[in-house]
Amino acid sequence: MRSCKRMAVASVFAAGLLVLWSCKGKSSGQQAAPNPPAEPTWTATRVAVVEKMNVPESVVVDPDTGMAYVSNVEGGPGLAWAADGKAFISRLKPGGELDALRWKDSSRQALLNAPKGLCIFKGNLYAADISRVVSFPLGTASPSKPVTFPPGRRYNDMAADGEAVYVSDTAAGKVIRADEKGHRPVKAPQSVNGITFFKGRMFGVSWGLHEVYELDAKGKAEPKPFGLAKHFSSLDGIELLDDGTFIVSDYAANKVCTISPDRKTVRTLVKVETPADIGLDRKRGLLYVPEFEHQRVVVYKLQKK
C-alpha cells in the first residue's frame, strides 16, 4: 500500500512540473494576442437652436449650397396627417441660422397639407405630403422635370440615390421608387419610416417594429433586420456617416443613437425631446434634429473620438 501511495505522489508531482514548464514556455516563447483596437465613437455638441418652427418633421441639407430645408406640419402633433392646407417649408443658412421661415408656404397654387420627409434630386426639392409627393425648384439653374408618384396612403420619408427618388409609405409598409420612366415598389418592413442611401446601399427603419433594416433598392430581396429592436422604441429618421456609422432618431425614447458600422453596438449620441427625421451636413459635420413637439430644430457638431 505504501509503495502505491509513493507512486501516486510521484505521479502528481511530475504532472505539476509538467504544467509549470508548459506555462513558462508559453509566457516566455509566445506573446498573448493583442486586444483589438478600440471602436471609434462619436460625440455631438449643440451649436445652434432654430426657434419659431411649427411642428418641424424633417430636415434635408443641399450638399451644393449647405442650405437646410425644414418641413413644418403646422397645427399640432394631433394633426400630423390632416389635409388641412396649413403647412410650410423653412430654409436655414449653412450652420443653422434661419434664412426664411416660410420659404414655401401653402397656397392655392401650391397646396401643402402635412409635409414630412424631404430629399433633393437634380435641382428639385421633394416633399412627402400625406398621399402625394410635391416638388419645388432650387436655385436659379433650370431643374430637371420632376418625377411623379402614384397616390399613397401615408407617404413619410424620402431619399434619392442619384438615379431615382424614393418615398416610404408607412401605412402600406412599402417604398415606392420613381424616375422619369415610371415607378415601382420596393420591399420594406411593416410601418417603414426613415430611409436613406449610403455607397449604393439602401437602409430604412420601422416605426412600429423599432428595428433597422437593409433594403434591396431593386425590389427583389426581403428586408434584412439588424437585430437591434430591443434598443429602440419608435424609430423615425436614419442617416450614415462617412465611416459607415449609422445615426437613428428614436422619437418615443427621446434620443438619437449611433450604431457601429458592424451593426452590433448601439450608443446614445444625444438625449433630445421628440426627435423626428434628422438631416446631415457632411461637409460641415453637422446634424440637424427637428424636435417635433417643441417647435425647434437643434443643430449639433459631430466629432469622432
Instruction: Return d(Cα 167, Cα 172) in angstroms, integer.
Output: 12
pLDDT at site 99:
98
CA dihedral (233, 95, 127, 165) positive or negative: negative
Residue 123, classified by CB atoms within 10 Å of its CB into exposed (0-12), middle (13-18) or buried (19+), is: middle
Architecture of domain 42-304: 6 Propeller (2.120)
Instruction: Give me the residue spans of the domains in the chain.
Output: 42-304
pLDDT at site 78:
76
Please give the average per-residue pLDDT across 71-77, as a whole number: 86
pLDDT at site 260:
98
Taking each continuous run of H as one helix and of E as one strand, the counts in the chain are 1, 23
pLDDT, tens digit, 9 for 90 and up, residues 265-290: 999 999 999 999 999 999 999 999 99
Amino acid at 141: A
Do residues 297 and 291 make contact, with C-beta atoms less than 8 angstroms apart? yes
**Size of the chain in residues:** 305
What average pLDDT does the structure give for the chain? 90
Q: Does residue 253 have a pLDDT over 50?
A: yes
In this prediction the pTM is 0.87
